[in-house]
């Protein structure tokens, strides 16, 4: 699956989510929702690295939760980029891959 194909599916899920809970995804929503997901990712990282309470979860469950939060964070970055019309492939190429060309 290409990044664009994945982005289309992520957008479809987000549209469904927005309709089901009756929210308007304005500029603020994308930034604040990403911040929320980063907080959840950080919490799972702290649990996984034994710097936060395990809350009764096994190491395997915590790892799975961490992976899920990585997926949420990635998906929100994709949604934010689409909303603000950022071509992720071009931006990553310009910002990151330039170092491979040196």
Domain ranges of the chain: 3-100
Q: CA 19, 32, 12: angle at the middle one, nearest 5?
A: 35
What does the pLDDT read at residue 46? 99
- pLDDT for 102: 78
In angstroms, the CA 8 to CA 94 distance is 23
* Sites in the chain below the pLDDT cut of 70: none
User: Domain 3-100 sits in which CATH superfamily?
Assistant: MazG-like (1.10.287.1080)
pLDDT of residue 101: 85
Give the model's pLDDT for residue 24.
94
At residue 50, the pLDDT reads 98
- Supply the pTM of this predicted model: 0.93
């Amino acid at each position: 699956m290409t990044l664009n194909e994945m982005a289309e599916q992520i957008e479809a899920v987000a549209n469904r989510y927005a309709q089901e809970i009756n929210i308007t995804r304005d500029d603020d929503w994308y930034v604040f929702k990403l911040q929320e997901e980063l907080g959840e990712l950080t919490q799972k990282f702290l649990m996984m690295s034994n710097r936060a309470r395990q809350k009764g979860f096994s190491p395997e469950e915590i790892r799975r939760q961490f992976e899920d939060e990585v997926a949420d964070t990635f998906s929100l970055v994709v949604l934010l980029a689409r909303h603000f019309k950022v071509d992720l492939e071009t931006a990553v190429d310009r910002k990151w891959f330039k170092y491979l060309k040196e």
